[in-house]
């Protein structure tokens, strides 16, 4: 049986991000109409009438944000399914509480987008074949599994008046500046409003270690350890040198040795 193409609406206030999402949706098999809106109010003008199967929705937008728009949609008689597409992970619980089909973190991979569309089809019933009137009823489909949200895998940064999305794996070390942190990469650094302690909590499982009260270091980025003029320890990375406090120096050396032994093992 040939399945009908999905009709979807993409909503994002950042034009380049909206362009990219629309292009990815249009390139995904099984997607027909791809409409777009730059804010929640514009989206609401297009939605009534059951026109769309799903809305791919950013959360952080001026005026009415994505969560507020999702609440309005949930009150409709025949609402489209909602897939959140955002750079922030902390709204996942609220999103699923509103009945979202999926929660995608930017930058979105094509396979994750295709997976979200499959879930849309499953929920809307587009994947169910026709059943003869005298056939026994089919069991209810199992709900789609909630995907694991990779905590702060990308971080939005402001660059030249535009919002860019910095991948965690591009960061060599993090430097605390009060309630802000500076994320150091090979190409430069970016100041972001987030406490170092929170970033450490989410990035510790990804080989980021505290080596100083003001520094978080990506373990794989360490090229070598050096001594400074005062006899202190420095961890050299492609993005610069990171001071290592005495209380963390032994622990860092042991972790580097363990990592080297793991790489050398057959």
Give the closest residue to 171 by CA, choosing from 160, 191, 186, 156.
186
pLDDT in tens, 219-246: 999 999 998 888 889 999 999 999 999 9
pLDDT at 143 over 60: no
pLDDT of residue 160: 62
Locate CATH 3.40.50.2300 in the chain: 6-124
Residue 162: band (very low, low, confident or very high) from pLDDT cuts 50, 70, 90: low
pLDDT of residue 8: 95
Q: Answer yes or no: pTM beyond 0.75.
A: no
Locate CATH 2.40.50.1020 in the chain: 168-264
pLDDT at 140 over 70: no
Which residues make beta-bridge pairs with 9?
35, 55
The helix/strand/coil state of 143 is coil
Angstrom distance (rounded) from CA 32 to CA 140:
27
pLDDT of residue 146: 43
Strand-strand pairing, 81-86 and 102-105: parallel
The string of DSSP codes covering 64-123 is: S-HHHHHHHHHTSSSPPEEEEEES-STTHHHHHHTT-SEEEESSPPHHHHHHHHHHHHHH
CATH superfamily of 168-264: LytTr DNA-binding domain (2.40.50.1020)
CATH for 6-124 is 3.40.50.2300
């Amino acid at each position: 049986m040939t399945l009908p193409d999905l009709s979807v609406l993409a909503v994002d206030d950042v034009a380049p991000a909206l362009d990219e999402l629309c292009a990815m949706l249009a390139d995904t098999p099984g997607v027909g109409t791809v409409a777009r809106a730059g804010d929640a109010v514009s989206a609401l003008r297009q939605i009534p009438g059951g026109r769309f199967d799903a809305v791919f929705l950013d959360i952080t937008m001026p005026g009415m944000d994505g969560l507020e728009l999702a609440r309005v949609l949930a009150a409709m008689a025949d609402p489209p399914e909602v897939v959140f597409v955002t750079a922030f992970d902390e709204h996942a619980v609220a999103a699923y509480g509103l009945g979202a089909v999926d929660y995608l973190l930017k930058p979105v991979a094509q396979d994750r987008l295709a997976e979200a569309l499959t879930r849309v089809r499953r929920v809307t019933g587009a994947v169910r074949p026709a059943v003869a009137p005298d056939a026994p009823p089919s069991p209810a489909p199992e709900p789609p599994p909630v995907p694991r949200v990779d905590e702060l895998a990308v971080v939005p940064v402001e660059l030249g008046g535009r919002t860019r999305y910095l991948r965690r794996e591009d960061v060599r070390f993090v430097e605390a500046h009060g309630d802000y942190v500076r994320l150091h990469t090979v190409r430069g650094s970016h100041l972001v409003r987030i406490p170092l302690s929170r970033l450490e909590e989410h990035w510790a499982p990804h080989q980021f270690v505290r080596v100083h009260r003001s520094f978080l270091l990506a373990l794989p980025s360490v090229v070598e350890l050096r001594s400074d003029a005062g006899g202190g320890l420095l961890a050299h990375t492609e993005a610069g040198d990171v001071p290592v406090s005495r209380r963390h120096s032994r622990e860092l050396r042991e972790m580097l040795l363990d990592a080297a032994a793991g790489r050398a093992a057959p």
